[in-house]
Amino acid sequence: MPTVAVLFQAIDPPIINGVRKPRKPGGYQDSGADIAYTLRSTGVNIITSKPNPSPDTHEGWCFPDSEEGILTAISQGATHLWANTIVFSSHPLQTASCLDDHASTVRVIGQPPGLVEKFDDKLYLNDKLRSLGGSFTLPKSWEVKATDHPPLDLDSFIQTNITDYPIVGKPVRGRGSHGVKVCHDPAELKDHIESLFDESPVVLLEEFLAGEEATITVMPPSPGSGRLGYWSMPPVTRFNHDQGIAPYNGTIAVTANSRVVSEEEMRDPAYEEVMRQCEHVACLIKATAPIRIDVRRFGPGSGFAIFDVNMKPNMTGPGRPGREDQASLTAMAATACGWDYSGLLQEILRGASTLETFRQYRSPF
């Protein structure tokens, strides 16, 4: 029987190629508490940072992802660490020598730090996918750097490169819908790029996809369930966008603007095509936990394009008091597979790998 400790984001991500990923307020303690509470309710041994934390609050359920926090969880008997946080190559899970003696026995749920650091860069991953000769459908994109030499003439760049509007501007290492905006003319685009430069020297511009948006969760191989390859949960379609962008789930619960695609809708071959592409992405990067890929049609009735690969899907779910509407997009998709939130968490838990394997990850690119 596993003994699980959930980790939350207590340490700031480093600056990577001049860019720091914005930290989520609370460090994912809300979803961490959902995970710990729900697993405990189904009989899984859960270690918490405080004795008998209240289901009414997210505090006390999770351990900080610092070296000290991880060691404390292990010293209290944790055999499994649920890394509900943002990892990177210098994260303690990867580098802390004090964990070496536990590397072959302690198991981790999440993505390897080396995978996240490399592929959390949306521009880098999309360019790698484009280089594979048409295997993936992606929107047109442009990179804008504040650090270019000679200094960037933003007006000239926009006039030369951007001929069709609307255009989406967003950070290359984003979180949710933070910093994502649909711009309708050169002046609006310039203002948005300059605002993004205040927090990042690199900005990603993308062709605006005007059609239906959906999100697809791809699960890693699950030999215990008879699934030997990467596989997609049913798509979840998104609606009620705010100025062309799906609103942040901390503002509007995704259950209010999303639903699982129906069996009748699934007769459209565009869904199956993009699901296979999403599985191919997960296989290429060798994901060790669920990833969530956002896709959107170019227009009504067209095929889908991949526009955002999320290495850490939101994992909120119902169970704690007042959290009835907090199912994440992945949890919503799981219901179409016959899993409630606890069933989804137990399936993910079964996919844990040792810290040693976690640390040995090598990028395919």
Strands (E), the chain: 3-8, 45-46, 63-64, 80-83, 107-109, 141-145, 167-171, 181-183, 202-207, 213-219, 231-232, 236-238, 258-260, 291-297, 304-310, 353-354
Considering only CA atoms, which of 326, 323, 342 is closest in space to residue 334? Answer: 342
Rg, the chain, Cα only: 20
Q: Mind listing the pLDDT tens digit for each residue in 152-187?
A: 789 999 999 999 999 999 988 877 678 899 999 999
- How far is it, in rounded angstroms, from Cα 117 to Cα 17? 10
Q: Mind listing the pLDDT tens digit for each residue in 312-357?
A: 999 999 999 999 989 999 999 999 999 999 999 999 999 999 999 9
Q: Mind listing the pLDDT tens digit for each residue in 234-270?
A: 999 998 877 777 766 556 778 888 999 999 999 999 9
Number of H helices, E strands in the chain: 11, 16
Domains of the chain: 3-110 (3.40.50), 119-123+210-337 (3.30.470.20), 140-207 (3.30.1490.20)
Query: What is the mean pLDDT of the segment spanning 1-22?
Result: 89
Instruction: For residue 144, count CB atoms less than 10 angstroms from its CB and return exposed for 0-12, middle for 13-18, buried for 19 or more.
Output: buried
Query: What is the mean pLDDT of the segment spanning 36-40?
Result: 98
What one-letter code names the amino acid at 246?
A: A
pLDDT of residue 227: 85
Residue 180 falls in which region: left (phi positive, over 0), alpha (psi -120 to 50) or beta = beta
pLDDT of residue 16: 83
Share of the chain above pLDDT 90, in %: 78
Residue 149: pLDDT over 70: no
- How far is it, in rounded angstroms, from Cα 230 to Cα 155? 44
- How far is it, in rounded angstroms, from Cα 258 to Cα 73? 36
Compute φ and ψ for 310, nearest 5 degrees.
Answer: -100, 115
- How far is it, in rounded angstroms, from Cα 85 to Cα 223? 26
Instruction: For residue 80, count CB atoms less than 10 angstroms from its CB and return exposed for 0-12, middle for 13-18, buried for 19 or more.
Output: buried
Residue 146: pLDDT over 90: no
pLDDT of residue 310: 93
pLDDT of residue 251: 61
Residue 272: pLDDT over 60: yes
pLDDT of residue 250: 59
| pLDDT bucket at 17, cuts 50 / 70 / 90 | confident
pLDDT of residue 221: 93
pLDDT of residue 248: 61
Most confident of 90-104, 116-130, 231-245: 90-104
pLDDT of residue 231: 97
pLDDT of residue 329: 95
Q: Mind listing the pLDDT tens digit for each residue in 43-81?
A: 999 999 999 999 999 999 999 999 999 999 999 999 999
Q: Mind listing the pLDDT tens digit for each residue in 181-219?
A: 999 999 999 999 999 998 888 899 999 999 999 999 999
pLDDT of residue 22: 76
pTM, whole model, 2 decimals?
A: 0.93
- How far is it, in rounded angstroms, from Cα 144 to Cα 274? 28
